[in-house]
Amino acid sequence: MIEDEFLFLLACNTRFTGKAMDVAPRAELADGKIDVVLVRNASRLQVLRLFQGIFDGSHLRLPAVEYYQVRSFRIETETPDLLNLDGELKRHTPVSAEMIPGAVRVFA
């Protein structure tokens, strides 16, 4: 369990998001894990560096960034906070997520 204040958290099961942003460079679609990128409170300069490095994965070297591979996670806040889910502001905390291996079949 991690208790702290964070700027934001990204949870992915694929390596790239958006327009070629290499947010979770260690992510593998079929590994049964959720890749979680935590960004602790950071200065404006650190946030600028983070967004510059997110296209090549170098953001993971920044001290404010932590990377975890988990099977489940839960976010709890003191008061309900709005969640941004794939660009849409929906739901509030608390929220839980769990990877269920084999639950979805992908055909190529």
- Render pLDDT for 5-62 as a digit per residue (tens, 0 to 9): 888 899 998 999 888 899 999 999 888 999 999 999 888 998 899 989 999 999 999 9
Instruction: With respect to residue 60, please indicate whether it lies within any of the assigned structural domains.
Output: yes
Instruction: With respect to residue 27, please indicate whether it lies within any of the assigned structural domains.
Output: yes
Instruction: With respect to residue 108, please indicate whether it lies within any of the assigned structural domains.
Output: no
Instruction: With respect to residue 71, please indicate whether it lies within any of the assigned structural domains.
Output: yes
**Position 103 confidence tier, pLDDT thresholds 50, 70, 90:** confident
Instruction: With respect to residue 26, please indicate whether it lies within any of the assigned structural domains.
Output: yes
Instruction: With respect to residue 72, please indicate whether it lies within any of the assigned structural domains.
Output: yes
The boundaries of the domain holding residue 86 are 6-98
Record the pTM.
Answer: 0.86
Number of domains making up the chain: 1
Q: Given a cut of 90, is residue 101 above it in pLDDT?
A: no
Instruction: Look up residue 29 and give its DSSP letter.
Output: T
Q: What one-character-per-residue DSSP string does 59-79 give?
A: GGGSTTEEEEEESEEEE--SS
User: Which of 95, 108, 101, 91 has its CA nearest to residue 11?
Assistant: 95
For residue 68, what is the domain's CATH number?
Answer: 2.60.200.40
Cα–Cα distance measured from residue 22 to residue 88, given in angstroms and rounded to the nearest whole number: 20
